[in-house]
Structure 1
Amino acid sequence: MNYKTIFLCSLMGVLLIKEANCLHKRCIRCRSRGELGSCGDPFPFNVTEPEVEMGIHVVACPSGWCGKSFEGNIGAFKNDDYGAATERMCLQRPPSDYEERCAYTMWGHRKVYMCFCNGDLCNSAFKFSTIPSTILITILVVVYNFYHS
């Protein structure tokens, strides 16, 4: 067995383990009112360490769809945020069109602004795009073949 075969088998094994871990999707679950709560935007915590703040929970989400809702609005005076609340949760089922978006919707007999997203801990903060694993594999194989051929 040559080194090229060992390298490619190891690389595929690591990527398969990574993909298996991504099958279990999680969401942030919390709720807070006003600017003083810990659940608002911008989300001030590292999602890998949610235990540092009371009321912030990382929960398994079988549907894979997370949500973030903004209830209430800023009153007539700019500092009047008594009715404003932010809630992050796991959705029991995805939107009917399976589209990630933000829009006004009815939730619990109230009109709220809600964002839907699909992915692991996607309701914790803004998404940063990552390099798909197939492109990463291709780049690594090309670099490896270039230096070891």
Structure 2
Amino acid sequence: MRHVVASGCAFLLFLCVSVPDLSEALLRRCYSCRSRGDLGTCKDPFALNLTLAEQERGVEAMPCASGWCGKFLEGGNSFKDDEYGVATQRMCLQRGPSDNEERCDYITWNHKKVYMCFCQGDLCNAAPSVEKAMLLLVVCTALRYIATG
């Protein structure tokens, strides 16, 4: 049985090395929520992981066909976290920027000047995404648990 687990881990390592965007290709979701000022859990710092987000009212991990997620801040002039009028929204974008570059910048959105970030990958509009090595470690640990279970 250990040979099967070792073979499975070797195969997953091969996939992660040979297919660089494997995790992003398989998982394409974005957080969807909106908070204004101190109200809600959508604002930064975004302290929810997927498990907590599923239990939180008003926060969803939505499938995203384009794979491009966004987060924007609107309202106020300084975009400070403690400013009451600032709203934070996270969403799936129908399409990414024309140059396909992840970035944050001031843009005009629905006739308002907002600070927006564009990112590509699973739940990327929250915290930094899980590194492939960490993903591999979790899968190998699960396989080992199943094999010895």
TM-score, scaled to structure 2: 0.70
Q: State the SS of the aligned residue for 1:96.
A: coil
Tell me, yes or no, if the aligned pair for 2:123 and 2:129 is still in contact at 8 Å.
no
AA matched with 2:120: N
For residue 37 of structure 1, report the CA deviation from its aligned partner. Answer: 1.8
Per the alignment, residue 102 of structure 2 pairs with 100
* Richer in helix (by share): 2
Alpha-carbon RMSD = 3.2
Per the alignment, residue 131 of structure 2 pairs with 130
Per the alignment, residue 84 of structure 1 pairs with 86
Per the alignment, residue 68 of structure 2 pairs with 65
Tell me, yes or no, if the aligned pair for 1:74 and 1:80 is still in contact at 8 Å.
no
For residue 44 of structure 1, report the CA deviation from its aligned partner. Answer: 2.0
For residue 109 of structure 1, report the CA deviation from its aligned partner. Answer: 1.2
Gaps of 5+ in 1: 137-149
| Partner deviation per Cα, 1:2-33 (whole Å, 9 max, x = no partner) | x6xx677533554559x378423000000010
| Partner deviation per Cα, 1:79-134 (whole Å, 9 max, x = no partner) | 651x2100000000010011110000011111100000011000012x1572569x
1:113 aligns with 2:111: no
Q: 1:33 to 1:25 in 2, by over 3 A?
A: same
Tell me, yes or no, if the aligned pair for 1:47 and 1:124 is still in contact at 8 Å.
no
Looking at structure 2, the residues matched to 7 and 107 of structure 1 have their Cα atoms a distance apart, in angstroms, of 50
- Relative contact order higher in (CA < 8 Å, ≥ 6 apart): 2
AA matched with 1:113: Y
Looking at structure 2, the residues matched to 21 and 93 of structure 1 have their Cα atoms a distance apart, in angstroms, of 16
Alignment coverage as a number of residue pairs: 126
Q: State the SS of the aligned residue for 1:45.
A: coil
Q: State the SS of the aligned residue for 2:116.
A: strand
AA matched with 2:56: E
Q: State the SS of the aligned residue for 1:48.
A: helix
AA matched with 2:53: P
Q: Percent identity?
A: 50
Gaps of 5+ in 2: 17-21, 137-149
Q: Which runs of 4+ in 1 moved over 3 A?
A: 6-9, 11-17, 19-22
Tell me, yes or no, if the aligned pair for 2:74 and 2:86 is still in contact at 8 Å.
yes
Q: 1:116 to 1:79 in 2, by over 3 A?
A: closer
